[in-house]
Amino acid sequence: MRSFASAPLLGLWFAFLALPFAGWRGALWTGLACAALVAAARTLGRVLRAEPVARRLAMAQEAIGESWEFMLRGTRDWRVAALVLLGLVAFPWVLDRYKTDVLVVAGIYVMLSLGLNVVVGFAGLLDLGYVAFYAVGAYSYALLSTWYGLSFWPGLLGGAALAAVFGILLGIPVLRLRGDYLAIVTLGFGEIIRIVLNNWDDVTRGPNGILGIGRPHLGDFRFSQPMHFFYLVLALCLITMFIVGRLNRSRIGRAWAAMREDESAAECMGVNLVHAKLLAFAFGASWAGLGGVVFAAKQTFVSPESFAFFESVIILCMVVLGGMGSVPGVVLGALILVALPEALRELTLFRPMILGGAMVLMMVMRPRGFLRERGLRLAEGALPPGVPREEGR
Amino acid sequence: MSAAPLLECRALTRRFGGLVALDALHLEVRPAEVVGLIGPNGAGKTTAFNVVTGIHPPTAGEVSFEGRSVVGLRPSAVLQRGIARTFQNIRLFRGMTALENALVGRHARLRTGPLGAILRSRRVVEEERAAVDFAMELLRFTGIERHALARADSLSYGDQRRAEIARALASEPRLLLLDEPAAGMNPREKGVLNELILAIRDRGVTVLLIEHDMRVVMGISDRVVVLDHGQKIAEGPPDAVRRDPRVLEAYLGSAHA
Amino acid sequence: MLTQQLVNGIVVGSVYALIALGYTLVYGILQLINFAHGEIYMMGAYVGIAVLGVLAAMGLTQQSLALSILLVFLVPMVYCAAYGVTLERVAYRPLRQAPRLSPLISAIGMSIFLQNYVQVAQGARDKAFPNLLSLGSFEVMGAHVSGLQVFILAAALAMMAGLQLFIHRTRLGRAMRATAQDRTMAALVGVDVNRVIAVTFAIGSVLAAVAGVMVGMYYGLVNHYIGFVAGIKAFTAAVLGGIGNVTGALVGGFLLALLESFWAGYVSAVYKDVFAFLVLVVVLIFRPEGILGGSTEVDRA
Ligand SMILES: Nc1ncnc2c1ncn2[C@@H]1O[C@H](COP(=O)(O)OP(=O)(O)OP(=O)(O)O)[C@@H](O)[C@H]1O
Ligand SMILES: [Mg+2]
């Protein structure tokens, strides 16, 4: 970025580029905004890079990282964990119905993005049609529930399993090929699922969607309030975090990370790529399926609209912005991306544009996300005491 | 010297388009040997490793290890059989620590599956602990124990080469293929490396070594094989090979080309 | 019916082929799927509309048809070249040494950004592409062929011929081929790799611009979403022909469009877009190197 031309020239250039789309006036504004932004970013960059500031910044970053880790380690203490849990459990009592409902949606996204994180963040495979598996889960429960009256809990398993099967079927053709092909095949698959849902009227009722999907119940207790779903989703999120975290800190997680870093070196070190890829893919898909079933049960209604390509992009964004590979980072990313549009309603129109731009910026400036993954991929306590701490960086 | 060969390549050929990188190569490595594989740039040495480890399928010919063919196996299956390697252009998992790198090398000898990883039974924890102990022992053996928790890409060049060796040894191979392990090392480091390779052999691991540094190869090899244009042009004890006119010609000839 | 499908297929095929060339050229040099390429094509169509608007306002469309047609193609070509080069500079060049996932994510982000920028700036509704050429039509063996279709095919063929000449006859073209073969080697022998990459993006984008304007003329309607589907299909065409292979992109483009046209005519029009995907998957399973591709890339250890 440093060899870029000067700010006014850049402004002129982008004004020129924007001209056919934004008209004279729009182009002028675009140019000015670009020039101002570039100049501001430059100055900021210079200030931040100046010796004393840079040192302090690095220290602050280190400190934030440390305290974050401290907090995480804290939650391993059962007393702290209990306190946090208590706080979470109290949410619906403090918030109104609407906000609780938003939290339920956020929770579903947390599950989805943790699942996608296994594929993209852990295993390094780009899946651009993630929402298709979400749709598979949602529709399979919708159909089983409305046709056969299948109840929620078996539906949960069924949806996840079916989605996993789709994941494996889709993964097989691209196993031998570079990861980019997976991206395009999943992208295509996402479109197909949407087209099929829209057109297979006899089964999916097309764009009208499916109504009257059964809600979950536990014995005689029926889930009906947002609060009930909040607890359901909260439990599922915690379980997901637990499972994903443990997978990461194991032989499996190390194999994924090795594959992500250097696929063929990993294979030479004994990692069976077929198993590792299919496992990541099936796991990611089944979690999307799980999320889909919960979504269908919460809405009692599904239609193809909910499964547009843009949903896949949003979920990918949660993973990328939060920090690929880092479980707390991804959770944070999901929460922020659900909360932001709630807070900034005026920006709805610009949201996709901002997300797209943010993905590019993130890759160029901070490819590891806000919270870089930390810690060893090892079962806690497997490390003998007395191993010298990391030196240097 | 009379033992059955551990690794045996028969008429091994590999083409890349029109280029014959390996031309009917015969190669034998017997247990507990250190064999040096030398030859000018582009002679096909690395290609031989790639074919043996299953990265490139051979165009023709046979590779057998401990009497059984390994042709057609995936690289992971070849490693499972007991052949491990390092890379000429270091290919550590850069974002992972040295310890994690070694643990990935151990992957094939561990059993934990996804369910085990999630439930983390006592057996799984025991396995992890043993794996860490083993990996730490190897980091100590290769002399980089104090960098165990440093990111691989923050290690010095020589340490990265050693980390690659530790990672390869973690799979408890019976044959270790080293691709120019001394490249980029200073003389002192090379001396240490010599000791290390002999110590590896003393652990009962047979070593096939590609190396340009003649002092390293000639100093520790029991036998040297010389490749040029994919063909074996000489073979024998280091002293004999050093005096072989064909070898001199291959090296000088290629230097003039 | 059969010849009609054939004619439709050929026209659509020339569009696919032009876009596929952009994918193939970039992939050949950077081994990167430029996901935003479809958006460049879409933006080409929009720039065409803008040009026509200006021309009509100046009354030029009545005065000189030839000049108008020239400008309707030329201005989008220039603009798209600029978009392509800027895209590479902003979203890909900083990531050339990054892990391979990063440029892919950056590419998809750019695609989303551009698509939605156009939506914000131009509105979500379809835009009419003013009718410029009314060339009449004629019958060939029971098929209805419009002059516009002939014009599109001719323009596409001319672009492809120009590309071939460029690649094989010019210094830059040779530098491009050298870079595609081995980037480090090319840099060693004095090729300015950055410039070659920029030129590659410019050329791919120029071809996409032509495709965009042609599609606008052909269907008379354009929206910000057309780049997405066209992008997937053109990529499929490139893979079908053998990605990285210029002739392959042409063959793949025409072949895919013909197959698709028959599929839509005889099997199912609703699932027309599904078909291209099936083709992609089948090719990836049975012949990932494509029809004209040589060996699949082998990993250098
Ligand atoms: N994947 C590949 N695709 C095409 N050609 C290859 C490939 N790998 C190796 N070659 C060619 O095969 C020949 C032998 O290469 P190889 O890497 O085996 O040589 P080497 O003996 O290891 O040389 P060096 O001492 O430089 O490492 C070279 O001409 C090389 O260009
Ligand atoms: Mg070599």
Position A392 pLDDT exceeds 60: no
pLDDT confidence of residue B162: 95
Residues B45/B37, Cβ–Cβ less than 8 Å: yes
Q: Tell me, yes or no, whether C256 lies in a domain.
A: yes
Which helix or strand (DSSP H or E) is residue A62 part of? helix A51-74
pLDDT confidence of residue C137: 76
Query: Is pLDDT larger for residue A351 or for residue C84?
Result: C84
Tell how far the Cα of B13 is from the centroid of ligand 1, in angstroms. Answer: 13
Domain boundaries, chain A: 95-372
CA atoms of A145 and A150, how far apart (whole Å): 5
With a pLDDT cut of 90, the percent of chain C lying above it is 53
For all residues of chain B together, what is the average pLDDT?
92
CA atoms of A124 and A316, how far apart (whole Å): 12
Could you tell me the pLDDT band of residue A370, with boundaries at 50, 70 and 90?
Answer: low
Longest dimension (CA), chain B: 64
Any idea what DSSP says for residue A382? -
Task: Tell me the range of A66-75, A167-176, C256-265 where mean pLDDT is highest.
Answer: C256-265
CA atoms of A73 and A66, how far apart (whole Å): 10
pLDDT confidence of residue C100: 80
Q: Tell me, yes or no, whether C300 lies in a domain.
A: no
With a pLDDT cut of 70, the percent of chain A lying above it is 93
Position B200 pLDDT exceeds 80: yes
Position C300 pLDDT exceeds 90: no
Residues A287/A208, Cβ–Cβ less than 8 Å: no
Position A326 pLDDT exceeds 90: no
With CA atoms as reference, report the closest residue to B137 among A266, A255, A392, A387: A387
pLDDT confidence of residue A325: 82
Mean pLDDT of A234-261: 94
Q: Tell me, yes or no, whether C155 lies in a domain.
A: yes
> In Å, how far is B4's CA from the nearest CA of chain A?
26
Beta bridge partners of A301: A211
Q: What are phi and psi of C86, to 5 degrees?
A: -65, -40
CA atoms of B15 and C45, how far apart (whole Å): 47
Least confident of A1-5, A70-74, B51-55: A1-5
pTM: 0.89
With CA atoms as reference, report the closest residue to A250 among B168, B123, B120, B97: B120
CA atoms of C156 and C285, how far apart (whole Å): 31
- The pLDDT tens digits for C156-200 are 999 999 999 999 999 999 999 889 888 888 888 888 999 999 999
With a pLDDT cut of 70, the percent of chain B lying above it is 96
Total CB pairs under 8 A between chain A and B? 142
CA atoms of A260 and C101, how far apart (whole Å): 9
Least confident of A203-217, C68-82, C243-257: A203-217
Q: Tell me, yes or no, whether C49 lies in a domain.
A: yes
pLDDT confidence of residue A371: 63
For all residues of chain C together, what is the average pLDDT?
88
Chain A neighbours (≥3 Cβ pairs under 8 A) are B, C
CA B151 to chain CA centroid, nearest Å? 22
Mean pLDDT of C252-278: 88
Query: Does the beta-carbon distance from B97 to A376 stay under 8 Å?
Result: yes
With CA atoms as reference, report the closest residue to A245 among A127, A325, A164: A325
pLDDT confidence of residue A391: 47
Give the tokens for residue B106: 């151990």
Least confident of A129-138, A192-201, A276-285, B55-64: A192-201
With CA atoms as reference, report the closest residue to A250 among B76, B104, B152: B104
Position C133 pLDDT exceeds 80: no
Position A110 pLDDT exceeds 80: yes
Q: Give the mutation target among B12, B27, B45, B225 for probing the ligand 1 site: most ligand atoms within 8 A of CB.
A: B45
Tell how far the Cα of B87 is from the centroid of ligand 2, in angstroms. Answer: 9
Query: Is pLDDT larger for residue A368 or for residue A181?
Result: A181
Question: In terms of DSSP H, where are the helices of A95-211?
Answer: 97-117, 130-148, 152-171, 179-199, 201-204
> In Å, how far is A389's CA from the nearest CA of chain B?
6
Could you tell me the pLDDT band of residue C233, with boundaries at 50, 70 and 90?
Answer: very high
The residue whose CA is least distant from atom 31 of ligand 1 is B42
Residues B29/B205, Cβ–Cβ less than 8 Å: no
Place of tokens 């002999």: B198
pLDDT confidence of residue A52: 80
The residue whose CA is least distant from atom 28 of ligand 1 is B42
Q: Tell me, yes or no, whether C291 lies in a domain.
A: no
User: What domain count does chain C have?
Assistant: 1
Give the tokens for residue B188: 């002192």
Could you tell me the pLDDT band of residue C147, with boundaries at 50, 70 and 90?
Answer: confident
Q: Tell me, yes or no, whether C99 lies in a domain.
A: yes
Residues A320/A356, Cβ–Cβ less than 8 Å: no
Chain C residues with CB under 8 Å of B17 CB are 294-295
Position A166 pLDDT exceeds 80: yes
Among all bound ligands, the one having the nearest atom to the CA of B228 is: 1
Which residues form the pocket of ligand 1, taking CB atoms under 6 Å from any ligand atom? B 16, 19, 21, 39, 41-47, 88; C 298, 300
- The pLDDT tens digits for B11-52 are 999 999 889 999 999 999 999 999 999 999 999 999 999 999
Question: In terms of DSSP H, where are the helices of C88-138?
Answer: 101-122
> In Å, how far is C127's CA from the nearest CA of chain B?
49
Position A117 pLDDT exceeds 60: yes
Tell how far the Cα of B18 is from the centroid of ligand 1, in angstroms. Answer: 13
Beta bridge partners of B208: B35, B177
pLDDT confidence of residue C298: 38
Torsion of CA A362, A363, A364, A367, to 10 degrees: 90
Q: What are phi and psi of C223, to 5 degrees?
A: -140, 175
Give yes or no for B206 touching C (CB within 8 A).
no
ipTM given for this complex: 0.93
CA A71 to chain CA centroid, nearest Å? 22
pLDDT confidence of residue A372: 62
CA atoms of C237 and C292, how far apart (whole Å): 12
Tell how far the Cα of C298 is from the centroid of ligand 1, in angstroms. Answer: 12
pLDDT confidence of residue A374: 66
In this structure, CATH architecture of domain B7-82+173-255 = 3-Layer(aba) Sandwich (3.40)
Question: In terms of DSSP H, where are the helices of chain B?
Answer: 45-52, 75-81, 98-106, 114-119, 122-142, 157-169, 187-202, 214-220, 238-243, 245-256
Position B256 pLDDT exceeds 60: no
Place of tokens 């949606």: A105
With a pLDDT cut of 90, the percent of chain B lying above it is 80
CATH code, domain carrying C68: 1.10.3470
Mean pLDDT of B58-85: 95
Position A373 pLDDT exceeds 70: no
Q: Tell me, yes or no, whether C298 lies in a domain.
A: no
